[in-house]
C-alpha cells in the first residue's frame, strides 16, 4: 500500500507534527485525513501528501471540535 504523509496545520499554517500512514489509495487517504483532524484539536486543516504530490486537504468546519 502507498505511504501518505498527513500534516495537521494550525490556523497560522504551521505544522508542528506529521504522521505517515499507509492507505489503499488517494480517496482512502482523504477519509483518513478527517480522522487525523479529529485527533489534533489545535489543527484547522490536515494536508495530505503522497511523496512529492499533494493529494488534498481536509479543513475543519466552523463549530467542529
11-33 pLDDT tens trace: 999 999 999 999 999 999 999 99
Tell me, what DSSP letter sits at residue 16?
S
Name the pTM for this structure. 0.90
**What SS3 class is residue 62?**
coil
Q: How many domains does the chain have?
A: 1
Which pLDDT band holds residue 63 (cuts at 50, 70, 90)?
low
- Domain residues for the domain of 35 are 3-59
Inside any domain, residue 64: no
How many other β-carbons are positioned within 10 Å of the β-carbon of residue 64? 10
Q: What is the pLDDT of residue 61?
A: 83
For residue 30, what is the enclosing H or E element?
helix 26-39
Inside any domain, residue 7: yes
Q: State the maximum Cα–Cα separation within the chain, in Å, rounded to a whole number.
A: 34
Amino acid at each position: 500500500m502507498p505511504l501518505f504523509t498527513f500534516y495537521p496545520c494550525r490556523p497560522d499554517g504551521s505544522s508542528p507534527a506529521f504522521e505517515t500512514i499507509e492507505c489503499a489509495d488517494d480517496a482512502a487517504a482523504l477519509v483518513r485525513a478527517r480522522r487525523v483532524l479529529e485527533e489534533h484539536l489545535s489543527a484547522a486543516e490536515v494536508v495530505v501528501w503522497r511523496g512529492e504530490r499533494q493529494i488534498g486537504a481536509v479543513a475543519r468546519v466552523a463549530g467542529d471540535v
